[in-house]
A and B are shown apart, each in its own frame.
Chain A
Amino acid sequence: GQNIDQPTEMTATEGAIVQINCTYQTSGFNGLFWYQQHAGEAPTFLSYNVLDGLEEKGRFSSFLSRSKGYSYLLLKELQMKDSASYLCAVRDLQNQGGKLIFGQGTELSVKP
């Protein structure tokens, strides 16, 4: 089976840096995804990691350690519009193509 854990909620200050952690246990692994979801809207793709290491994309970076079953999403220079839910998802290799299994999401509140 699959188990994905991330904190339920976090609070950070505008202009600061925040790290959202995600740990996973899965029988098949074909990559880890991070999505951003504002209330009432669709998830928006942020990043994808399949190899160990850091992937940087502007203010957002994502890290993966497959041996530890661990990833984090790093958000720099926080803006008010970054207040949203951040979803960690693991792709399941057991089926061709592979479905995404999501964690519960981390609700990030950015304060002025």
Chain B
Amino acid sequence: NAGVMQNPRHLVRRRGQEARLRCSPMKGHSHVYWYRQLPEEGLKFMVYLQKENIIDESGMPKERFSAEFPKEGPSILRIQQVVRGDSAAYFCASSPTTGGSSGNTIYFGEGSWLTVV
């Protein structure tokens, strides 16, 4: 029973390049959340998606950042024209579709560490 899978685990990009981070939710989960964690800081919500639908993107920077969760395949967080300030850990989490006690459990992936040089 695989957990939330993220790749790549570590990514180095030069300023101005694009970064693509992928997240496959746990089996049976159709809700995906992306969080960013800067060094020595807490987890900051970025975006919440369901299949083919962005539910809440209130935490996403207005420019350069986008996210999708297609009908088939993983969720992707895309950062265009990266800058040094984008260096952070990006965590994906997933939860099941239905409510109840199991529906209120959110599990995190191992994270993707982006370094912009």
Q: Which residues of A contact B (CB under 8 A)?
A: 30-31, 33, 35, 41-45, 48, 50, 87, 89, 91, 95-97, 99-105
Contact = CB atoms under 8 A, between A and B. Distances in A.
Interface stretch (B39-47, B69-77, B78-86): B39-47
B110 A95 contact: no
Interface string B33-77: 101000001111100101000011000000000000000000000
Contacts, number: 56
11 contacts: A31-B104, A42-B110, A42-B111, A45-B107, A50-B104, A87-B43, A96-B55, A99-B33, A99-B45, A103-B42, A104-B42
Given A42-B109, A97-B31, A99-B48, A87 B104 contact: no
B104 A95 contact: no
Interface residues of B, number: 24
Contacts of A35: 108
B74 to A, nearest CB: 17
